[in-house]
Homo-oligomer: A and B are copies of this chain.
Amino acid sequence: MNENYQTNTAELNLDSFVDEVRSLLQRQRMVEGLVTKQAGPKQEVLEMLTYRQHLAEMQNRLASRHPADIAFVLESLPMEDRTRIWDQVWKIRGGAILLELSDNVRKGILESIPRDELIAVLKQVSIDDLSTLAPSTPRDVLEEVYQSLDSQSQQWVVSSIAYPDDSVGQLVSHHFVTTRMDRKLEEVLIELRGKDLPPHLDSLYIVDARHVFLGVLPVEHLISKDPSTEVQEVMNSSPVVLSPYQKATDAAKAFERYNLLSAPVVDERNRLVGRVTVETVIDFLRKQADEDALKLAGLQGEEDIFASIWASARNRWFWLGLNLVTAFIASRVIGIFETTIIKLAALATLMPIVASIGGNTGNQTVALIIRGLTLDRISRNNIFYLFLKEIRVSSLNGLVWGGLMGLLTMILYQNFSLGLVMAAAMFLNLLVAALVGVGVPLLLDRLGYDPAQGSSVLLTFSTDSMGFFIFLGLASIFIL
Which residues of A pack against B, CB within 8 Å? 1-3, 6-9, 12-15, 18-19, 22, 66, 68-69, 72, 75-76, 78, 100, 189, 192-197, 199-202, 218-220, 222-226, 236, 238-243, 246, 250-251, 253-261, 278-279, 282-283, 285-286, 289-290, 292-294, 296-299, 303, 305, 309-310, 312-313, 316-317, 319-321, 323-324, 327-328, 330-332, 334-335, 338-339, 341-342, 345-353, 355-357, 360-361, 363-364, 366-368, 370-372, 375-379, 381-382, 385-386, 389, 392-393, 396-397, 401, 404-405, 408, 460, 464, 468
Contact = CB atoms under 8 A, between A and B. Distances in A.
Contacts of A282: 255-256, 259, 278, 282, 285
A68 B393 CA distance: 30
B368 A194 contact: no
Given A224-B194, A334-B352, A379 B238 contact: no
A223 B224 contact: no
13 contacts: A9-B241, A200-B202, A293-B296, A294-B368, A305-B372, A305-B378, A310-B396, A312-B393, A316-B364, A319-B364, A323-B357, A338-B345, A339-B345
* Max chain B Cβ within 10 angstroms of own Cβ: one of A319, A341, A345, A405: A345
A335 B349 contact: yes
A283 B253 CA distance: 11
Contacts of A225: 193-194
B349 A352 contact: no
Contacts of A378: 305
A15 to B, nearest CB: 6
Contacts of A363: 297-298
A379 B76 contact: yes
B258 A7 contact: yes
Q: What is the total number of copies of this protein in its complex?
A: 2
Given A224-B197, A327-B352, A352-B355, A360 B319 contact: yes
Nearest to A311: B393
Given A3-B239, A76-B382, A305-B372, 16 more contacts: A18-B379, A68-B257, A193-B225, A200-B202, A294-B371, A298-B360, A298-B364, A312-B393, A316-B393, A317-B397, A323-B360, A327-B357, A332-B349, A334-B348, A338-B349, A341-B345
Which 3 pairs, one residue from A and one from B, show the smallest C-beta to C-beta distance?
A297-B367, A348-B348, A338-B345
Contacts of A72: 257, 376
A163 to B, nearest CB: 16
A198 B355 CA distance: 56
Contacts of A6: 238
Contacts of A100: 257
Q: Is the interface of A mostly helix, strand, loop or mixed?
A: helix
A206 to B, nearest CB: 14
A223 B193 contact: yes
Given A219-B219, A397-B313, A320 B360 contact: yes
Nearest to A396: B313
Nearest to A354: B327
A238 B464 CA distance: 58
A324 B309 contact: no
B223 A258 contact: no
A120 B204 CA distance: 38
Nearest to A330: B352
B2 A396 contact: no
Contacts of A22: 381
Contacts of A328: 353, 405, 408
B331 A258 contact: no
Contacts of A197: 220, 223-224
Given A256-B283, A261-B200, A392-B309, A250 B357 contact: no
